[in-house]
Amino acid sequence: MFFNYIGGIFKGIKTLLTGMKVTSSYFFRPSKIVTQKYPENRKELKMFDSFKGEVILTHNENNEHKCTGCGICEINCPNGSIEIVSMFITTEDGKKKKAIDKHIYHLGMCTFCALCVKTCPSNALDFGKDFEQAVFDRARLTKILNKEGSKLMKGVE
Amino acid sequence: MPFDIYDLSTFTHWIDTSLRAGMSPFWAVFTEFVLVGVVFLAFYAVVGLFLVYAERRICAFMQCRLGPNRVGPGGIFQTIADLIKLLFKELIYIKNADKILFNIAPFIVIIASFLALAAIPFGKGLQAMDFNIGIFYVVAVSSIGVIGILLAGWSSNSKYSLIGALRSGAQIISYELSVGLSLIVIVILAGTMQLSEIVEMQRDGWFIFTGHLPAVIAFIIFMIASTAEINRGPFDLAEAESELTAGFHTEYSGIKFAFFFLAEYMNMFIVASIAATVFWGGWMPLHIGSWEGFNHAMDFIPPFIWYLGKTAVIIYLIMLFKWTFPRLRIDQLLTLEWKYLLPVNLFNVLLMAFIVLKGWHF
Amino acid sequence: MEGVLPINQVVSEVEQQEYIINMGPQHPSTHGVLRFLLSLKGEVVQYVQPHCGYIHRGIEKMTEKITYPQIIHLTDRLDYLSAHMNNEAVSLCVENALQIEVPERVKYIRTIMAELSRLASHQLWWAAFGMDLGALTTFFYGLRDREYILDIFEQTTGSRLTQSYNCPGGLMNDIHPDFQKKVKEFIKNFRKVLPEYNQLLTGNVIFHERTKGIGLLSKEDAISFGVTGPSGRGSGFSCDLRKSHPYSAYDKVDFKEILYTEGDTFARYQVRMDEMLESMNIIEQLIDNIPEGDYALKMKAIIKLPEGEYYQRVESARGEFGVHIISDGNKNPYRVKFRSPNFSNLSAIDSMARGFKIADLVAISGSLDLVIPDLDK
């Protein structure tokens, strides 16, 4: 009984000391620090290729995109964060054709489920790698993805 | 003695005599009071702010983090920035709170810790009040703080605060016993309660070495009990962040909250000072038997540095407790005191008395 | 004077009064917007009334308006720490309804991903459980190691928490070429770190005092309340669906079901600690043997389930997660019911916490590992 009492005390102290050893060992090993200084290391921060940032419409150097305005991304989006405003243009050979006027994307409603990117028949959409999406005004979360004056890439139907 | 070059008592005596030469004794004493008060106030603020910073930095390193590193070099001014923020914060008044008690409580807590500073010897001749019952005074004064905590919890008109305060009351009153008894062990060994004399007696060896096993046991118990008495983890039941959100100071905001916060850190400093003074020789340099050269070299380190160094080590230990252990439950807390610490402590007092009677100590 | 009562009457009136406090909706230890209504006698809990619904988003109703592939992104947001298992449940349910068999590669990857999620979830639970008990450092160690897994997730799926990686018919995209290397690296590293967890918390005498014999849940109670997952297995309720009803690649791996019979907080803790080891075993058995093949079946553009009711359950990190789909043959489900493990687990808290102290209630609710968005749906 008495020895149990004394033994209990020593056993308890031993377990406490092992715990203290762990924390103390980290204190004396600053090389184990894992946190980073964020704004300073902005240049080194590279997101993975598959990172799902905002949805973007890829444009090539001639300011051309692949979006035909078919609206499949709009149908597939579960939150209604994509709106496509289409228009009809007359092509060179005089035919009327559907094309996008505006590809509106509401970043604030997007849940990054990747259904739009995956289902796009002409692979026009992609995910941006920008991870700093904070803005001061909610209105700025609504973006128009097709750039000013851009047109459909040749050969994409 | 070489460390007499650092003796500050001649300097303080010179201030005293020159003051008394210039004015009547009443005004001389009054001026001294004001001087000491101002010095302590500055010391209190600096140490308090530094300790808050140190704790945040130390715990960050233990947790593989960097801790505050933005304001000033290495984040050293972080706590000053925090203080300024707290100063500008609104003092929220609680509906149906007992206004007078609610406002007085933080002051009682801070005054209690302030009073205890007076008796601590920071260096040779660097002590505001050298009471002949120094230890008793510190123990008595530091237990006033619990009244502040109880009042804060009671007057806040909040159930969380009340539970926190009642826990704190039960806790501090029980652990006072252990603190007192573990100090009594040393008082038996030293034969005096005067802190300056206790330090002086450790000239040739600190009590933790000369006092055999009882002194070591007393030191361990003192560390545990004093951690409990200053309401720090693993005994921070009065605050118990995960149970009572913030316990007795849930309803405080702005600078009144800062008072509680500062007082907690200063209490930690005072407890560490007492432990360093009573067990580790205070400002006394480390002397080992007959190693003349070593002893001589140690003497050249100023006493104030010795004192701060020892205090810092003990503060580190207290911080290590907090950041390692889970919190105890209230009944376990009381079990630890009444079933473990107190019996061991009483036995320890007996053992020390026996050793001293037989003259087995060094 | 009127109104002044004799002292014994005052005392008895005080005794009759309940001391009721609200723990939550904003409280550090309820891990979200859950509210406990406690009746206290001193420190002792008389009864606990959990009030949930503060984060109810109507996910079950929302699924009636969207197509089956779109449900995936909502199940991510139920139990966000086992998002992968929830997605798997929906995918399996739809696949079973269509009576299609996904390629072996998909099954293997799904299993590995599910076990990684379980590891990440248990790490976060360990971190938060330590913090509930006041050992604040555990929080950072747990999160530090979880970071490796989240990086692996991000590299392959593109997100860290709400992965949306499964879809009916397979996976959204193939695994990253570095996936296997990184997973092996993580396991090697984590096997070294896990003993540290034990030194810091498991062996600690204060921790033992705080958890042993606290929050007892008998096997009968566990079964009648429907407490599943590690919480149920801590009471000796053998409820591991991976063992009893194997899905995906669980029938191809050799692992043991962790069972503890004590039924206290410490047993639930031990189950989870051992499950972390088991999860690593499962991953190690699978990671080198991922067969070649397609990562998804070619599905029709619009998935329509045949008329009928379909149920599929999986073992999520917290217990049995079930999906019940009623289809009327349209592209949208007629009705979807999610069986969330947390809701059943929470129901046992009153019988577990009665007679224990407030601090124990925190430990008990921590050991149930509640995720409130899953509970409220």
A111 part of contact set with chain C, CB < 8 Å: yes
Same domain, A98 and A26: no
pLDDT band for position C244 (50/70/90)? confident
Asked if residue C109 has pLDDT above 70, the reply is: yes
C60-340: CATH topology:
Cytochrome-c3 Hydrogenase; chain B (1.10.645)
CB contact under 8 A, C359 and B233: no
Residue A75 lies in a domain: yes
Same domain, A84 and A146: yes
pLDDT band for position C9 (50/70/90)? low
Q: What is the pLDDT of residues C254-283, one digit of tens each?
A: 888 888 888 888 998 989 999 888 888 888
Residue count of chain B:
362
**Percent over 90 (pLDDT), chain B:** 0
Residues of chain C found within 8 Å of residue B63, distances taken between Cβ atoms: 136-137, 139-141
Residue A100 lies in a domain: yes
Answer for the pair C252, C144: CB distance below 8 angstroms, yes or no.
no
> Nearest by CB to C130, which of B163, B326, B331?
B326
What is the residue type of B251? E
pLDDT score, position B2:
46
CB contact under 8 A, A23 and B69: no
Q: In the predicted model, what is the mean pLDDT of residues C336-362?
A: 88
Determine the Cα–Cα distance for residues A2 and A9; give it in Å rounded to an integer: 11
Nearest residue in C to B233, CA atom: C134
Determine the Cα–Cα distance for residues B308 and B57; give it in Å rounded to an integer: 18
Of A15-29, B187-201, C3-17, C192-206, give the lowest mean pLDDT range: C3-17
CB contact under 8 A, A20 and B324: yes
Chains contacting C (3 or more CB pairs within 8 Å): A, B
**Percent over 70 (pLDDT), chain A:** 97
The CATH number linked to A112 is 3.30.70.3270
Asked if residue C123 has pLDDT above 60, the reply is: yes
Same domain, A128 and A85: yes
Nearest residue in C to B159, CA atom: C21
Quote the ipTM score. Answer: 0.83
Same domain, A78 and A109: yes
Residue A43 lies in a domain: no
Please list, in sequence order, all residues whose beta carbon lies within 8 angstroms of the beta carbon of residue C21, skipping any fewer than 6 positions away.
Answer: B159, B160, B163, C37, C38, C40
Asked if residue B3 has pLDDT above 60, the reply is: no
Of A117-121, B68-72, C29-33, give the lowest mean pLDDT range: C29-33
Q: What is the pLDDT of residues A136-155, one digit of tens each?
A: 988 888 888 887 777 777 77
pLDDT score, position C1:
45
Q: Which two tokens stand for residue A61?
A: 């150097």
Domains of chain B by residue range: 93-358
Residue A30 lies in a domain: yes
- Closest alpha carbon to C314 in C63, C88, C74: C88
Chains contacting B (3 or more CB pairs within 8 Å): A, C
C211 part of contact set with chain A, CB < 8 Å: no
Q: Which two tokens stand for residue A45?
A: 């921060």
CB contact under 8 A, B328 and C210: yes
CB contact under 8 A, C157 and A50: yes
Same domain, A80 and A116: yes
CA–CA min distance A113, chain C (Å): 6
Residue A41 lies in a domain: no
Q: What is the pLDDT of residues B98-126, one digit of tens each?
A: 788 888 888 888 888 888 888 888 777 67
pLDDT band for position B1 (50/70/90)? very low
Same domain, A102 and A25: no
pLDDT score, position B344:
86
Q: In the predicted model, what is the mean pLDDT of residues B26-46?
A: 83
User: What is the span of the domain harbouring residue A116?
Assistant: 55-152
pLDDT band for position C15 (50/70/90)? low
**Percent over 90 (pLDDT), chain C:** 1
Nearest residue in C to A33, CA atom: C144
CB contact under 8 A, B66 and A26: no
> Mean pLDDT score of chain B, rounded to an integer?
82
Give the residues across from A71 on adjacent strands.
Answer: none
Residue A46 lies in a domain: no
Q: What is the pLDDT of residues A11-69, one digit of tens each?
A: 888 888 888 888 888 888 888 888 888 888 888 888 888 888 888 888 888 888 888 87
C203 part of contact set with chain A, CB < 8 Å: yes
Would you call A151 helix, strand, or coil by DSSP? Answer: strand
CB contact under 8 A, B330 and C43: yes
pLDDT score, position B6:
65
Domains of chain C by residue range: 60-340
Residue A71 lies in a domain: yes
Phi, psi angle pair for C350, to nearest 5°? -65, -45
Nearest residue in A to C160, CA atom: A51
Q: In the predicted model, what is the mean pLDDT of residues C55-69?
A: 88
Q: What separation in angstroms does the CA of B193 have from each of B114, B120, B186, B277? A: 20, 12, 9, 12
Q: Which two tokens stand for residue C21?
A: 């406090």
CB contact under 8 A, C133 and B63: no
Residue A134 lies in a domain: yes
Q: Which residue has the tokens 């599929």?
A: C312
CB contact under 8 A, A23 and B62: yes
Same domain, A64 and A25: no
**Percent over 70 (pLDDT), chain C:** 96
Of B256-260, B302-306, C63-67, C97-101, give the lowest mean pLDDT range: B302-306
Residues of chain A found within 8 Å of residue B324, distances taken between Cβ atoms: 16, 19-20, 22-23
The residue with greater pLDDT, C366 or A149, is C366
Give the residues across from C335 on adjacent strands.
Answer: C326
> Mean pLDDT score of chain C, rounded to an integer?
86
pLDDT band for position A70 (50/70/90)? confident
Q: In the predicted model, what is the mean pLDDT of residues B45-56?
A: 87
Q: Which two tokens stand for residue C127?
A: 């971190």
Asked if residue C11 has pLDDT above 70, the reply is: no
3-state secondary structure chain C: CCCCCCHHHHHHHHHHCCEEEEECCCCCCCCCCCEEEEEEECCEEEEEEEECCCCCCCHHHHHHHCCHHHHHHHHCCCCHHHHHHHHHHHHHHHHHHHCCCCCHHHHHHHHHHHHHHHHHHHHHHHHHHHHHCCCCHHHHHHHHHHHHHHHHHHHHHCCCCCCCCEECCEECCCCCCCHHHHHHHHHHHHHHHHHHHHHHHHCCHHHHHHHCCCCCCCHHHHHHHCCCHHHHHCCCCCCCHHHHCCCCCHHHCCCCCCCCCCCCHHHHHHHHHHHHHHHHHHHHHHHCCCCCCCCECCCCCCCCCCCEEEEEEEEECCEEEEEEEEECCCCCCCEEEEECHHHHHHHCHHHHHCCCEHHHHHHHHHHHCCCHHHHHC
pLDDT score, position C10:
59
